[in-house]
Structure formats: C-alpha cells, structure tokens
A and B are shown apart, each in its own frame.
Chain A
C-alpha cells in the first residue's frame, strides 16, 4: 500500500530569516504550503488514519517557519543555538513531518510510513525517534509552559534563540495553557512566541459551539501578552507577523492566525468531521484535484 512513487512536492527554497519578503518568495512558500497539503493528504489516505483538518489549516505557518523564519541546521538538530519549535497541537503532525523532511531533517521517502508499525513518524510526534522533535505532543495544553521553560533557560544562558509554540484554538480550552501564559508573562519572556491556529473548529464542532474563545485577543492581552491578529493563510501576513514578534521586548507574543480548518478542500473546510477522518477513494481524488489547483495558482 505504501508508495513513494507519487510524491509530487517541490519544496521551496530556504529563505534565511531577514530575507526580504519578495513576491517571488511569497509565491514560492505559498505554493509549497499547498503542495505540503497534497503530501499530507497522501500520507493520511495511505493508512486511512490521521488528522487532516488541523494539518491543512497550519500549512502556511509551518512553511513560513521552516523555510524562512526558524534558525535551524538539519545537520545539527541538537545545535544549542537553534530556534525551538514546540508543536503543541501534536495531532496535526502530518503537516509537521513534510516540513521537517523537506527541510532536510530526514528523507522525504519516509513520509509515506506515517502511522505504520516501525515508522519513526509516530501518530503523534515522539522526541526520541525523529531528529529535531523537541518534545512529544498530542495531549493538548503543554506547549506554552514548556516553551516558557525553554525561553527562560535560553535567557539564563544568554542565548538569543527564540521559542515558537504552535497551538490549536480548541487547545485553548485546556487550563495549563493559561498557567503557562501567566508564567511567561511574569518572567517577561520575550523570546517566546505562541501561534494560535485559530481555525474555529475543534473535534466535535465549532469552537463557538463547544467552548467559546472570544474575545480572543482581549484574553491574551489581559494575560500581558503582546497580540498580533492575522490571516494565517496569507503568507505575507504570516511572514510579517513573525518579524514583528521579533521586535517585541519585555513580554511574550501571541499571533492569532485566523483561518479555516481543512483549508483547501471545499468539502472539508469548516467541518469538524474532518478533524480525524480519512477520505474515501472518491473524496481523495476530489481533494487532490482541489489542492493541485491551489498549488497551481502560485506557479510563476
């Protein structure tokens, strides 16, 4: 069943942090995000298991982080000066894996082993199995407090690397997120940036229905965080927000990335069914077609 013959991803160039956000760069990263969605669709279809919706919604953010903003060295995944990425919404790791693979951390040929027995690509990320996974993730609510610990350790050591925590919006239901938010604000951890995949849908319904999160920006401001409010599928906005967060001093930053769960496939968008369901063959074919169109719009 597993096959690597149909990998179609053309990874983007790596644009080191500080590179001017040219139209070419934005197009290249945007196209890659769509192609990563195709990769994710194939990975989840392969073994008929995984989380599509929250992986699709975080595509642009992860592409921007891995191919532009994070200071990383795939040859040295333990490089002490590397930026840390805590992928707190671990269920969406189907999108984390392609980004890490095409960034050079492990062979992309392994991607189609996702969720198979003996695979390094566990159903939720395992730290010891894959180079560069900072912490396991899956049980929600850990990222902010762990990130606070990492950011504080960095500051104690006089290191300037930054710590990025990717959260789901449903994850904000979890109390320890707010414990971590208090700690990060108390210690003024400006090396810490949280990014909320604010796609409005969680496992059993909309966030509005399950557990209302609004007013979301006011909540974080009340916790003494600097807040940036963007559209997470707009690559230029994502890139600019990451740059702006670098300039914040004396407090942590949260980027609220407003977007769409299941982004890119019309019948998946905004539907909680696609939180953790695999597609049928017909749905797979239809989704593939839509995602290819999405990628093509960025071909130059």
Chain B
C-alpha cells in the first residue's frame, strides 16, 4: 500500500460539487436513499441528486424543523434520508428535532450540514457555523463526521449512509485542496487515520484544515521537528485508542479544527486525554468569538487557523512537554 497523502496536492476542487456528485453516486448504491433540502439545494448542491432522481428528492421549503421531522418520518418508514441545510441551522433552529427524534428516537437520518465552519465567508457570522460540532457532539446516539477533501467526502458519505444510526455530516462551501490518494484512503467511521508519522507531537485535525496541517508538519520537519498527523474525521464516536496511543508515543497533542476551540475536536480530545492519559494539549481553532465577512482563506488566517498558528501551537506543546 502506498501513501495516503499526495506528495503534491491537487488543484482546488469545489467541495459542494464533490458532495453533489457523491450524492448521485450513492443514489444508485442505496435504492432507499432520499434527499431533502430546505430550499437551499443550489447552495448545498443536492440539486445534482434532484436532477437524476427527482422522485426521491423533496424540497420542504424554508422550514428546517419540518426538514428534519419529515426525514424522521421517512427514516421510520424504511427510507434512508439525507437532510440538507446550512450547518448552523441543524445545530440551532432544528436542534430540538435533531435531539428528540434523531438522537433520542434513533431515527436513521443523515444530516448534511452545508457551509460548515467559516466557509460561508462572505455571508458573514450569521451564516457561519462556529459551534455546530460542540452542540451536536453532546447528543447521545448521534455520530459526528467531518470530511476533508473530495475523496474524503465521497468515501465518508458512503460510510455515513452505511452507519446504522443518525449522523451529522459537516461540509464546506468552497473549493478545497485534494489531499488524499484515491486508492489508499479507506476511512471507517470512528477510526482516526495516521496520515504522517512522527515522534515529537501529534496534530489531530479534521475538515479542510487537514491540508494546512500537513503543510505545517512538512514545514516543521524541515526544522527537525517530526510531527504525527492524524485525520480525526469522526468526532463522535472519537477514536479514543488512537488518541491515547498518540499521547503515549508522542507526548503532546495539538488539535486543529474550523470551529470554536470549545467543545469540538479539541474538546473531544481533551476529554480523552484528561480521563486516560494527560499530556500537553494545544487547541487551534476559533477563539470563542464570532468571525466576520471576508475571503475564506483570509478569515481562516485571521481567526486563528493559519499555518503559522498551527506550527506555533506545535512549538508551544513541545515546550510544555519538557
């Protein structure tokens, strides 16, 4: 088996288009799959599924609570619904539906959260989702998955549909950097993936920032710091064993996510470390505040998720390790 990570990253590719293509592909694979959208199908790209399977597509209007509840009814009737709207709306407006019926009621609904993190950058903080992972991760029975690049979106969507319970599947609005070799990337829900090995510290990351983490690790290697990079695409159930193993073997961890540093990936890893193997942990993400309008990459940089933020966090973790 060859390496998972491309030596040279691919040309940026629309994450939305990758998702829409994956939906269409899965539509053939899962005959009972249906897709619902709260009138944002040209945003979330579920329109691509609608074009091929119009009889299996439902636009419920601008009604996110009904979106989830209609999907719940379909799930309890043998369908495999993928509900689509903006990430923050699942985590806020439709949260009670998600909690009562998907989580408590175990309705097998897949919640595809479009425009995750700061990726709806120009629409501003009303449309960005800085807190969705923390909110949804706290719900029993609900899995939380954050794919990173187009290959990851496609392969993890399939795994999400195969998962026997409800899943929150967080997506990005923009072009993302293809990071993985198609043939060597084989994700499983609940299992982190070691993308690069190293002995000095571990970066645990998810989503579009995986590319930046790999670049940061390569940069650090040039300075003689060898960092392990783990893609923790599943925040829940989080891969405890791998987390503990990384703590034991590298002695310091850095989490990197496009989300507030409270309660998301950083929170999940902190909980594991605190309970099982405390080591220094630095959390890279949004510093407990709302962002603003602007270009996506510039927002990521300004709000604490630049490559330099990642390498600095690694260096801080190494200092604390001494």
Contact = CB atoms under 8 A, between A and B. Distances in A.
Contact of B70 (A80, A126, A138, A146): A146
Interface in B74-123: 74-79, 81, 96-97, 100-101, 104-107
B106 A128 contact: yes
Given A80-B78, A183-B61, A142 B106 contact: no
Contacts of A147: 73
Contact of A153 (B60, B61, B63, B74): B74
B72 A135 contact: yes
A153 B66 contact: no
B73 A127 contact: no
B65 interface: yes
B4 to A, nearest CB: 38
A147 B55 CA distance: 19
Given A80-B78, A145-B66, A182 B97 contact: no
B77 A127 contact: no
B65 A145 contact: yes
B109 to A, nearest CB: 10
Contacts of B104: 126, 136
Interface in A135-159: 135-136, 138-139, 141-142, 145-154, 156-157
A218 interface: no
Interface residues of A, number: 32
Interface in A94-152: 126-128, 134-136, 138-139, 141-142, 145-152
B69 interface: yes
Contacts of B100: 136, 138-139, 142
Contacts of A74: none
A149 B61 contact: no
Given A135-B105, A136-B101, A183-B61, A150 B74 contact: yes
Interface stretch (A39-47, A173-181, A229-237, A250-258): A173-181
B101 A135 contact: yes
Contact of B101 (A142, A151, A179, A183): A142
Chain A CB count within 10 A is highest, among B63, B74, B77, B104, for B77
A174 B202 CA distance: 48
A107 B100 CA distance: 27
A136 B74 CA distance: 15
B71 interface: yes
Contacts of A150: 73-74, 76-77
Given A128-B106, A183-B63, A142 B69 contact: yes
Interface in B237-277: none
Given A127-B105, A145-B66, A157 B74 contact: no
A196 B58 CA distance: 27
Interface in A184-222: 186-187
A45 to B, nearest CB: 28
Contacts of B101: 135-136, 142, 146
Contacts of A156: 34, 55-56, 79
Contacts of B60: 179, 183
Contacts of B66: 145, 148, 176, 179-180, 182-183
21 contacts: A135-B73, A135-B101, A142-B97, A142-B100, A145-B70, A145-B73, A146-B70, A146-B76, A146-B101, A147-B73, A149-B69, A149-B76, A149-B77, A149-B81, A153-B73, A156-B79, A176-B63, A176-B65, A179-B66, A182-B63, A183-B70
Given A135-B72, A138-B100, A150-B76, 20 more contacts: A127-B106, A135-B76, A145-B70, A146-B73, A146-B76, A146-B101, A147-B73, A150-B74, A152-B58, A152-B73, A152-B74, A154-B77, A156-B56, A156-B79, A163-B73, A179-B61, A179-B63, A180-B69, A183-B66, A186-B61
